[in-house]
Each structure stands twice: as structure tokens, then as C-alpha cells.
Amino acid sequence: MSRSQKTILTNICLVEDVSRGKLLMQYRSPERYPWSGYAFPGGHIEKGESLHDSVVREILEETGLTITHPKLVGVKNWHTDEGIRYIVFCYKATDFSGQIHSTEEGEISWVDKDSLPQLDLAYDMLELLRVMEDEELSEYYYHERIKGGWRKSMY
């Protein structure tokens, strides 16, 4: 029995301006994305690229910010309908430089952390934020599709 499996590797990063109580969010339009709404920026990890380098590159490309010392704070994962494991490495960064800019990937803006529940968020952002900030949690796993959504667990 083979232990290998097809895998898609991606990342997201919670960029936080701690002194202002703001988070960097990317609005993904419903015309372009099936999982639209405000989300943390990130993207795909390229072949031969380290996890660290990929998140630094993605944040620079999508937001204009150069992050330093991103910390791996969790993993989100599931199996696609085609049986491919989809893994999202979740990072947090509080050290950054540069000026934000939007791209075709989505509109970038700083939002008040306390206002997140009132925003048009992508479908699991509040739960994912909990995994990324709670030191007792490290994984957000979608077990299987069920009527009305997914069966999910946080570990």
C-alpha cells in the first residue's frame, strides 16, 4: 500500500498591526472566487520553494508588504472531491514594512480586529482565526462533506 498521495500546498498569513489593533484582509469577489469574502492573503507554494519563502513571497505579491519572522501557527486541510489532500499552512506576522496595494487577487485593506464578525467574511474565517490565535489549537480539519456543508474539527 502506497503512503504517498497527491497534495496541493498553500499558505495564508494573518498580518497584524498590533499597535493599532488591525488585521490585513483581502476581499475576494464572488465573481472570481467560489469562497468569496474577506480572508487572509496567501497562495500556492511553488515547486522547490520553502514554506517560509512561499508565505513571504505571497504576502509581498498580494499586499505590497514585506513580512519578517512569520510564525507557523496552524494547519487547515481537507480532501478534495478528487481525493487530493489540500493543505493550508497558516502563518502570523506582526513585523512588516512597505505600503499596501491591491491586485487582481483582491482588494487589500486594514480592518479593526474587533469588527471581523460584522464583515462579509469567507466561510470559515472566524473559526480559522481561533485556530491561529489559540495556542491550544493547531489544526482545522474538514473530515467529509455532509448535507449543508462539511463536518469540521479543531485540534
Global pTM reads: 0.94
pLDDT in tens, 17-42: 999 999 999 998 888 877 789 999 99
Please report which helix (H) or strand (E) contains residue 125, including its range: helix 125-133
Local confidence pLDDT in tens for the 155 residues of the chain:
789 999 999 999 999 999 999 999 999 888 887 778 999 999 999 999 999 999 999 999 999 999 999 999 999 999 998 999 999 999 999 999 999 999 999 999 999 999 999 999 998 999 999 999 999 999 999 998 888 788 999 99
Burial readout 10-46 (b: 16 or more C-beta within 10 A, e: otherwise) = bbbbbbbeeeeebbbbbbbeeeeeeebbbbbbbbebe
Q: Considering the domain 5-152, what is its CATH architecture?
A: Alpha-Beta Complex (3.90)
Q: What share of the chain is helix, strand, coil (3-state, %, to 5)?
A: 20, 45, 35
Question: CA 143, CA 152: separation in Å to the nearest integer?
Answer: 6
> How far does Cα 13 stand from its chain's mean position?
5
